[in-house]
Structure 1
């Protein structure tokens, strides 16, 4: 069950449910014993479900038995590359065909930057960092202009971030803040993907509904995609409200970024209200929570 306010315990329950489903898929496909955890488990289940080869335990994507480490910089493996290929194929029509992206290794300075950004996020919003540590096992670094960031349920538990997001933005947004936002953004998609597996946000009728315009994509998207965008935007706006409360410098650029996120969130929520009949009781409850956080007393 998803709440807009982060909840590590609820996240853990949903992640356990995802793992049960993945192991059930592997058992049905004749692979009941596996040392895979985190994204490796999901990659193995996805491969088994789609008739592909289940990677051996020795693969770089496979971690040792036991709980996966949280927010770990991941060295790229074959399953990561396949996830990136799917993301490239899903780009909207008209995207620059010459622009590519691929997973790449982390430099020591980039690993340190990730650790600093996570600490900054923990200072501003410790509950959200705790939730991310439940949901996100791996952070995969991308190079190339095509993709800023994404998640893929086939490697659920991994988030993919462009290397550029570790540095200062063209508008002057500091690298640690920019990376913290990216972690919240992609980590929230991960959280939504797990929560909707057991308690969907939209009704079956939404599958046949018209596509809608969204704040974060140029191409029209399904209602379920807009729903996730709304939760992402509201959480990111709340992150900046907290950063502005504690930050002593760069207030202007942080305030501008926050306002852009608030405007996008309000646009998404208004469109969702227009299609409220396609939301489940769970989805409507989350929509109410999003609107509550965006009221003047909140964001």
Structure 2
């Protein structure tokens, strides 16, 4: 939505391509506004770094053809973010959690509570799959001008028989992301790690198909310059994502001021009815 009330529809091809999406969007805006000037020329040679691989045997674990999926937006303003970060911090475990770490931990914790409230509950493994941008984790780091889906996922696991403390979940999420370092990326490029990565995902999918685990996919578009795109009508007053059509997908975006977080959460209808009533979630958010 632009400052003069116009609605702009932007069609995109994936939920984890924020660097490429913002590069395209801001160049498009510049061309429309400033006499065909491209702000930043994309680099299109990423296949030399990560040649295409055959991965057709991998089937993502998200999505459901049985349940009706409901997507809702939960807004964490800057004051609630500060309070949540303070609550999620622990000197003996993890200090100074980021906005996304704190919000991810809260949503994951509330989702575990929801699983325990199901009529037929089981001690399931709860898996948080996190999308990680590889550009800044290479040596030397790659610029966000490198166009394409340069990401990989990592996972943190817990169980639903009890609810872990927020700071423990933050620690698990942080540890999972820390594994994606420059050495890991180098092994990916050399194929040493790639087959292990896909085998581990296949194992998770098999457990998911057997009903042994609950799978949540987290992706963050925070800190990317979506709100800088000006097509000549002024910068947008609100940008949202509409990718959450699969069950158990959580997307984060900045609020307009850049200090809060909007969380788009997609759950099946029954789980969402319980999730949005979670007292801890209500304490830190407003639903929109």
Tell me which structure has the larger Cα radius of gyration.
Answer: 2
Structure ranking higher in helix proportion = 1
Per residue, is there more strand in 1 or in 2? 2
Higher relative contact order structure (alpha carbons within 8 Å, sequence separation ≥ 6): 2
